[in-house]
């Protein structure tokens, strides 16, 4: 077998193996849905307690959001595209949800607290929707939530001496008990995203 052929066979074998693994994962998620009605089984490994600071410099913890499901995502205000796009999409979902939008909390957490001070975060998020809570904090506070939520965030130096941030783009969906139940991927179809949000709302305990 020529080197090229061997490479092709190996590549196809890898694709086939990946397909089997993906199939199993999809099956497990579907099976989980039937049993519990949750998006996927809550994974204890993602999420947990946190302590951050909002746009007014006030302390916000996971308990601040208790009782309502929360959409939380991570980024930074200097972000050229992913964060503004996600914030716009979030705004669009809230518009479609109408009154039901009030049954969820929304939080945008900076992974770049050195530049994203509370003031910067407040002004930035206010340009999209004031119902979204801007969150930042000390480097230690931000690193703690990045770790707890298993977020990828990395400083990347730019040629001009400045830097940008590579970061995970998914929106995390947390239930009313702050348990992780799934994500909405970057640029996910609006219909899918709304289906997940409505399920999150439907599964939440009725608020009094
Ligand atoms: Ni971003």
Domains of the chain and CATH, by start: 3-202 (3.40.30.10)
DSSP string for residues in the chain: --HHHHHHHHHHHHHHHHHHHHHHHHHHHHHHHHHH-SSS---TTS----EEE-TTS-EEEGGGGTTS-EEEEEE-TT-SSHHHHHHHHHHHHHHHHGGGGGGSEEEEEES-TTT--HHHHHHHHHTT-TTEEEEB--HHHHHHHHHHTT--EEEEE-TTS-EEEEE--PEEEE-TTS-EEEEE-TT--HHHHHHHHHHHHHHSPPP-
pLDDT of residue 78: 95
Question: pLDDT tens digit string along 158-179?
Answer: 999 999 999 999 999 999 999 9
Question: pLDDT tens digit string along 76-109?
Answer: 999 999 999 999 999 999 999 999 999 999 999 9
Confidence band, pLDDT 50/70/90 cuts, at residue 206: confident
Expressed in angstroms and rounded, the spacing between residue 98 Cα and the centre of ligand 1 is 26
Expressed in angstroms and rounded, the spacing between residue 75 Cα and the centre of ligand 1 is 4
Question: pLDDT tens digit string along 2-58?
Answer: 555 555 556 656 655 555 545 544 444 444 444 445 555 555 689 999 999 999 999
Distance CA 186, CA 110 (A): 17
pLDDT of residue 205: 87
Expressed in angstroms and rounded, the spacing between residue 39 Cα and the centre of ligand 1 is 25
Expressed in angstroms and rounded, the spacing between residue 166 Cα and the centre of ligand 1 is 7
pLDDT higher than threshold 70 for residue 113: yes
Expressed in angstroms and rounded, the spacing between residue 21 Cα and the centre of ligand 1 is 30
Question: pLDDT tens digit string along 127-157?
Answer: 999 999 999 999 999 999 999 999 999 999 9
Expressed in angstroms and rounded, the spacing between residue 126 Cα and the centre of ligand 1 is 16
pLDDT of residue 58: 98
């Amino acid at each position: 077998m020529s080197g090229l052929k061997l490479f092709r066979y190996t590549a196809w074998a890898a694709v086939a193996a990946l397909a089997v693994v993906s199939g199993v994962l999809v099956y497990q998620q579907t099976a989980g849905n039937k049993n519990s009605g949750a998006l996927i089984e809550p994974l204890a490994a993602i999420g947990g307690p946190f302590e951050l600071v909002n746009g007014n410099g006030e302390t916000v913890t996971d308990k601040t959001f208790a009782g309502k499901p929360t959409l939380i995502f991570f980024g930074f205000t200097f972000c050229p595209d992913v964060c503004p796009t996600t914030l716009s999409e979030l705004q669009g979902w809230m518009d479609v949800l109408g009154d039901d939008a009030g049954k969820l909390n929304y939080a945008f957490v900076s992974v770049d607290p050195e530049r994203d001070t509370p003031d910067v975060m407040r002004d930035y998020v206010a340009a999209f929707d004031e119902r979204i809570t801007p969150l930042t904090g000390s480097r230690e506070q931000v690193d703690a939530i990045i770790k707890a939520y298993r977020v990828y965030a990395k400083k990347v130096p730019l040629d001009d001496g400045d830097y940008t941030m590579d970061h995970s783009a998914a929106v995390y969906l947390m239930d009313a008990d702050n348990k992780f139940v799934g994500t909405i991927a970057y640029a996910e179809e609006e219909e899918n995203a709304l289906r997940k949000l409505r399920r999150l709302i439907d599964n939440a305990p009725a608020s009094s």
